[in-house]
């Protein structure tokens, strides 16, 4: 019999030898600007709760009331007996927020991407994906029976070439699905949805965007990249997560009602996973309420983003092409990124190292994310730590 334990141990030792194996740090408290991680008080720069809503009183109260009314879970998948009025209400609220005809909840952003891509793109169809799209999009493509191609990051001329090839030499007669992240999660840059839509219009292709890192961050009241770039009338499908600016858990599809109904009938993650617990769904609804009625959180997020991003650049760090609160500090080697993250942590700042396979080895970095919860004092202290540790490693 194959010794699985020995094989796993060997693989882990190989990762450790390259300083690329790290167990997750443990948090002792809420996802705030300052928290306790592994027993140490730190400034948190590795959390996606952009608007700081995970402890907002209205959100917490909504979750508490939902438990009192519905209990802690549905005990079933949605198609059997797991759909509550709360799920329908949440989908209606999300659809209005996203300015789409309908919305469908999934159990995570990952399952939303996997479910939508693998269900809508079938044998005889073709998928074209940005090379830096999220792993869940890539896995959705792998699970689909459609053929696929990858265009160079944000190179819409290359996208047009691939579309022309698909409709020409490859003779694709079925659907062509073009998928892009809205905000790219590792680099913090933003897709040009107008350029993408122009290419898709020319070759009768379907547009799909993953707005995970844009919902709550871009557009009016945080409605996302489609709203920010004013392409509502030209855009087909949106997928996103409910675990970032909306800091709970889950994912969603937003688009035409008939597509939602097809996903209800066919999408395996929807069909075979238990529905979201009532407190989770109620908290999502409350977050939408807050985003629509309390604009100060979004304003503070962007004020903090500018201050911190400008501070890193003035210190001499390479922050790539980021234009959003996702700000990488690129160091170029996985082991160096891991070491930089460790030194920052020891000095009171938690900024996670990111390296292969999450990014290419030469693009290894420490990824920072500021939030509306940070004070100016928090961010200045973090910049001081980055300066000290960057000099210690010879990065600046």
Show which residues are catalytic.
Answer: 185, 213, 244
For residue 200, the surrounding DSSP H or E stretch is helix 193-202
Hey, which bits of the chain come out as E strands? 34-37, 40-44, 102-106, 126-130, 147-151, 176-181, 206-210, 237-243, 247-255, 326-330, 349-350, 353-354, 365-369
Q: Both ends of the chain: CA-CA distance in Å?
A: 52
Task: Compute the C-alpha angle 222/245/74, nearest 5°.
Answer: 115
CA 94 to chain centre: 17
What is the Cα–Cα distance from 114 to 210, expressed in whole angstroms? 11
What is the Cα–Cα distance from 325 to 337, expressed in whole angstroms? 19
Task: Provide the 3-class DSSP secondary structure of residue 8.
Answer: helix
What is the Cα–Cα distance from 315 to 387, expressed in whole angstroms? 7
Please check whether residue 257 is in contact with residue 102, taking contact to mean a CB–CB distance below 8 angstroms: yes
Structure tokens given for 56: 């907002």
What is the Cα–Cα distance from 224 to 214, expressed in whole angstroms? 5
Please check whether residue 180 is in contact with residue 210, taking contact to mean a CB–CB distance below 8 angstroms: yes
CA distances from 364 to 83, 137, 191, 354 (A): 43, 21, 21, 6
């Amino acid at each position: 019999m194959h010794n699985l334990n020995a094989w796993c141990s060997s693989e882990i030792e190989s990762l450790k030898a390259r300083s690329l194996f790290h167990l997750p740090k443990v948090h002792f408290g809420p996802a705030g600007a300052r928290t306790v991680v592994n027993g140490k008080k730190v400034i948190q720069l590795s959390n996606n709760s952009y608007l700081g809503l995970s402890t907002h009183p209205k959100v917490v109260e909504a979750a508490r009331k939902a438990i009192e009314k519905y209990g802690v879970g549905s005990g079933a998948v949605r198609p059997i007996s797991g759909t509550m009025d709360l799920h329908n209400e949440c989908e209606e609220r999300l659809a209005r927020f996203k300015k789409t005809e309908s919305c469908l909840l999934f159990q995570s952003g990952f399952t939303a991407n996997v479910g939508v891509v693998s269900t809508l793109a079938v044998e005889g169809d073709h998928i074209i994906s940005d090379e830096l799209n999220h792993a869940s999009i890539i896995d959705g493509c792998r699970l689909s029976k459609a053929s696929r191609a990858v265009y160079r990051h944000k190179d819409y001329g290359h996208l047009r070439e691939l579309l022309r090839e698909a409709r020409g030499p490859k003779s694709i007669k079925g659907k062509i699905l073009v998928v892009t992240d809205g905000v790219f999660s590792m680099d913090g840059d933003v897709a040009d949805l107008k350029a993408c839509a122009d290419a898709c219009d020319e070759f009768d292709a379907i547009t799909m965007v993953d707005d995970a890192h844009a919902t709550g961050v871009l557009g009016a009241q945080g409605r996302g990249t489609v709203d920010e770039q004013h392409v509502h009338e030209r855009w087909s499908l949106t997928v996103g997560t409910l675990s970032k600016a909306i800091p709970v858990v889950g994912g969603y599809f937003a688009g035409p009602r008939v597509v939602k109904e097809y996903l209800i009938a066919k999408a395996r993650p929807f069909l075979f996973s238990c529905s979201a617990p009532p407190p989770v769904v109620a908290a999502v609804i409350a977050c939408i309420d807050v985003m629509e009625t309390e604009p100060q959180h979004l304003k503070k997020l962007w004020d903090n983003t500018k201050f911190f991003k400008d501070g890193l650049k003035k210190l001499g760090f390479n922050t790539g092409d980021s234009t959003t609160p996702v700000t990488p500090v690129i160091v170029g080697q996985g082991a160096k990124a891991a070491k930089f993250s460790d030194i920052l942590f020891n000095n009171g700042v938690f900024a996670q190292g990111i390296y292969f396979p999450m990014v290419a080895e030469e693009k290894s970095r420490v990824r920072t994310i500021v939030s509306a919860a940070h004070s100016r004092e928090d961010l200045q202290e973090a910049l001081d730590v980055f300066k000290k540790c960057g000099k210690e490693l010879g990065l600046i």
